[in-house]
Amino acid sequence: MANRPVLITGFEPYGGRGTNPAHEAMKQLHGRTIDGKTVIGRGLPVSFGRFPEIAANLIEELNPSTVISLGLWPGESMIRIERIGVNIADFGIPDNDGTLAVDEPVDRNGAAALMSTLPTRAIERAILREGIPASLSATAGTYLCNICLYSFLQAAQQHREPVACGFIHVPYMPEQVAELLVAVRDQASVELHQRSDFASMDLQRIIRAVEIAILQ
């Protein structure tokens, strides 16, 4: 039987930003062969309305052995490996369709939470061994990244073959922080949150961390 591919998803830009490092990393990983497996990259819309179908359809279409989804966590200082998807949608800002979910379930009939089926601890250790800051995280938030993690885990449960699924949040790229600082100075319209918005990681390190995750 042919080797099943690894699916890497990356969210499109959202929240008024022009780029998303998750999307950039996904594009660069698309088409690579890692550990004998073909990496297929797909962009995901920041749209509650497109989930959970989009996750189920991708698993059906590609039959991946592993799904690693990527998203930006603004202000995060390290690679953040998510452990749990929760059945809550509660947005601080509207999604790209203008939907603002407040205290809604992701799936009315779904479990309260689903655990990542990636080897999260091994991934954290392996990334740290290469000198890239990384940590485990208990929550992917209650916005689209959490919906994505929850939806892929649910779709994997329904799939005919085992699919390991998980989510990695990544920091801003340095260029984005530089832009943010210019915007803060010029427009005085964007506030900085406890100065954590200064945190960033260059795209090549982000990509290397995802490669390491694929290798575990």
Tokens 């966590």: give the residue. 73
**Based on the number of CB atoms within 10 Å of its own CB, is 210 exposed (0-12), middle (13-18) or buried (19 or more)?**
buried
Minimum Å gap between C-beta 35 and ligand PCA is 26
Q: Which stretch binds ligand PCA (CB under 6 A): 29-37, 58-66, 70-78, 197-205?
A: 70-78
According to DSSP, residue 13 is labeled P
| 145 counts as catalytic | yes
- Three-class SS of residue 12? coil
Radius of gyration of the chain (CA): 17
Which one, 19 or 65, has the nearer CB to ligand PCA?
19
- Three-class SS of residue 9? strand
Q: Is 41 in the site for ligand PCA (CB under 6 A)?
A: no
Minimum Å gap between C-beta 198 and ligand PCA is 18
Structure tokens at 21: 């490092």
Q: Is 201 in the site for ligand PCA (CB under 6 A)?
A: no
Return the residue of 71, 85, 166, 171 that touches ligand PCA, per CB under 6 A: 71
Q: Which stretch binds ligand PCA (CB under 6 A): 1-9, 138-146, 179-187, 189-197?
A: 138-146
